Structure 1
Amino acid sequence: LSVIQTPPPNRYPVQTEVHTFSTELIAEAVNFEMSRNGQVFIVNNRISSLYDLEALLHKHVPDARVCVGHGQMPPEELENIIFGFVHYDYDVLVSTTIIESGIDIPNANTIIINGAQNFGLSDLHQMRGRVGRSNKKAFCYLLAPPLAALTPEARRRLQAIENFSDLGSGIHIAMQDLDIRGAGNLLGAEQSGFIADLGYETYQKILSEAVKELKNDEFGDLYAEEIRKGNDLGGENFVDECALESDLQMSFPDDYVPSSSERMLLYRELDGLERDEDVEAFRLRMKDRFGEIPEEGEELIRVVTLRRLGKCLGAEKIFLKAGRMVLYFVQNEKSAYFESKAFGQCIAYAAMNAHRSNLREANGRRSMVIQEVRSVKDAVGILRQISELQAV
């Protein structure tokens, strides 16, 4: 991420203040700017109110030369007004947000934004950027109802634009905007909004599962071709992750990897592996660093392959306890998974091994129980056999 933080020479931060609407404040700000031969923007996003503000200025600052500009004017008239303001024919331009971008008038160094609570952070930041474009000190006045009367989001927006007024603070305003909207800081470890309760990885996982569920169920007709291809490929199209629950000994013992922090790093690295080649490379590195891997360590390494095979067969969870293995299939009993090649392979295995396996359904959840599975090694061997079968 490249951030521009160095301002041009002889630039000053724009002094930003939040106030309630006050005729005295507006008159004082305009008089001060006129006293140093500067110009003023007054922004109001309702065209119907622009001329009321013009009348207010004529009444309280009679010396001010005021013009009004908005997007519903004929283009020629609006162009003449803007050029007149650029050439210092007017002291005050009362307008809508049409000044937000594309206008660079170095002599305009005060901006008054009425109804600031109704603007987004990016709008406020852009409009504030219309002043302070020379070597003069600039001012930005945000006029809004009392903070206590505003919504929490509007209050946070005004506080953010007031607090982040230093030059180069645009990135901080953008991050604060993400925070207010609930998206969080996607570029780092800090999270906010609803993501703070889940964590970024879990949020992405849930989002992916929700999209896949909508594709397979509610919008199944639109994605019929994609689902058909998934049926031909296997159950991986229907399962994001295969969980494992087991009572077997699976770990790197303390006497094999003495450092607890090192063990945690190895567990994390192992959890991120998917391909058999990566698992084998991990096993070779372990042997090279720590020596021959004990059996409980080998069992842990085999878990990666077990979960991958389970995912390919459409198992959301594998239960490996008391000498038996239970594969819990896709929970939605109406899912297209149950017409897929992967489920056909599971049926074929159950039919060929009726003495040790059977399919069952309880509480709307379909599963397959396989007896005489006493290790992860046995479980991997069985899932490989199922994957190589012809579907029924």
Structure 2
Amino acid sequence: MNLSDLKYLYSQSGNVKQIRDLLSQQKDVKIHLKGLAGSQLSFYANALYNTQNQAHLFIAQDKEEAAYLLNDLENLVGKEHVLFFPSSYKRPYQVEEIDNANVMLRTEVLTELNNNKNYLIVTYPEALREKVIDKQQLQQNALVINKNDSLSLDFINEVLFDYGFERVDFVSKPGEYAIRGGIVDVFSFANENPYRIEFFGDDVESIRMFDVVSQTSIGDVNKITVVPNTQSANEQSDEYKRVSLIEYIQTPIIWAKSAAHLLEYLDESYDKAKEIFERKKENSPLKHLPPEQLFVNKTEIEQLLAENSLIEYGLSAYFNYAVEFEINAEPQHSFNKNFHLFAQELIHNTEKGYQSIFLADSLKQTERLEEIMEGIVQEPEFEGKEIRFKSLYITLAGGFIDKQLKIACYTDHELFNRYHRFHLRDKARTKAKEFSLKDLNSLQKGDYVTHIDHGVGKFSGLEKIEVNGKKQEAIRIIYANNDILYVSIHSLHKISKYTGKEGAPPRIDRLGSNHWKKAKQKAKSKVKEIAYDLIKLYAKRKASKGFAFSPDTYLQHELEASFLYEDTPDQYKATEDVKRDMEKPYPMDRLVCGDVGFGKTEVAIRAAFKAVADNKQVAVLVPTTILALQHYKTFKKRLKDFPCTVDYINRFKTSKQQKETLKKLKEGKVDILIGTHRIVGKDVEFNDLGLLIIDEEQ
């Protein structure tokens, strides 16, 4: 069974067919899905979305629940069909607490709904309480620019100013625009990236999307829509008509876990908004609109819930005349990493005619489970029994057992007791080497910068220069002999802030000289020399005889799968590289680098356990006494369910305790010893040392 088969199974289920008929026959039907478990809701939503020519609005209990639901729907229906509608601020009338990234997401949703009505929109009470601009007014207040249009720069400047956009040198966030000669950069509230419009006279010659950090182009477009911040920038203005999100969508199918909880929250938050408004009216010099123009109240939403189709999936229905569907299901059972218990359940599922499905978003998790099951099935108690399950490469928030369809879905994070993170769109973008606007704004005149082609010079500020008869902003860099280089902002990627030996000023290069070219060539030669020495060193190491560790056992897979968090790609790669080196017949020498909290210790624990599994001992050398104790606790906690003895030695232990530890170490009764330089003392004897781990912490 693949994912399409599973979705088809739900689309053809009796419950879905009946609900589909009710929604088609009545525009304000009330339905109660009682007993949904795990991520079952998403399968029902997917089945109904594909047959109903309407938008679906999901109102979760809070932002976290909304985020998990959003991810489930994106995985089942497709990201292109799902929108997330967040709140723009935390408290009413607190303009300084507005989240511009969320304002942009809200405006994007409204713009998308103008173009296509049939979306799945996920939101939560805090976001729903804020009214939005009326659809007709949003269309009237949008500036549409097409390639080859005839528009004057003065007209665009005037319109953007009227929209409340701020004119800046370089755009960096929504609501900003910049004009340099015949180039206009604008960051609309309806788009994730800003646009660069190039004019030839009054004709729009080209429109390009560009990266806000590097200022480099991403791709060409033929048409853009510039939308102002209609959500919060006009909080003091009553020129806009505002409506609830439900009214804006127009006759959506509404999904809510609890309409009663939603209405209770809206009632309380509306009362708080009225209190804050009264205080602001007396103490604030700004004119604020009354709550009824900015926020929805309980009565409004209650009326809209009554007028539209509503599907509730909580414990009880708000409307007592709702048609109830009893869903015979239960959440995924808790196994507490007891894979023998899980294996028994899989066998029972097969005997009862259930299909067992393992949901994981990575191949490595599936392989780990398969190898663990292969190890278990060889044990005497499982002899002659078959463990069956199908793996699907998809992640969902919660597993479930559907007794009506005889399907048992198990998620990898619940099975392995790992933390499952939700993913919301991140507006932050960073690029390690490129010169960003943040760097540019932080530069002072006289700071050293490096141009990839011309070398080291001094930053001398921004200057407007004339290029082909048009004024443009450029970065001014001074080189030796007071030579000046102007760098267009379109070439920001060629500049970086100078980094060198602290306290020693660099040599300023001369434009047109060969010094910079020679310096780059010299650096390349040095790199080649270092590479040659390293190759020579590792050739000797490869020729040496070492111990080749065995391939991973099912215990190794069980340890790695039991990690609380999902491995990062780098963490997974580092682990695989280390283990691959350990399995080779020559000594391993590998450096694992990473910032604090990036999972280096977990990589070390996995490598250490692999050595212990082959009856070898491990020494962990750390720089401080405190760190020795911390690592001991970490190793001990991670390996407590496995046949592995961990001990440590430092000055906190008495002489008697140290002697006892060293005695066990010599006898081979201690598998992993953690300590400072004390563990390399002459009196420290290992029975069979196989791996040395050094935590440099530098």
Above 0.5 in TM-score? no
TM range (shorter): under 0.3
Q: TM-score, normalised by structure 1?
A: 0.23
TM-score, L = length of structure 2: 0.15
Which has a greater percent of helix? 1
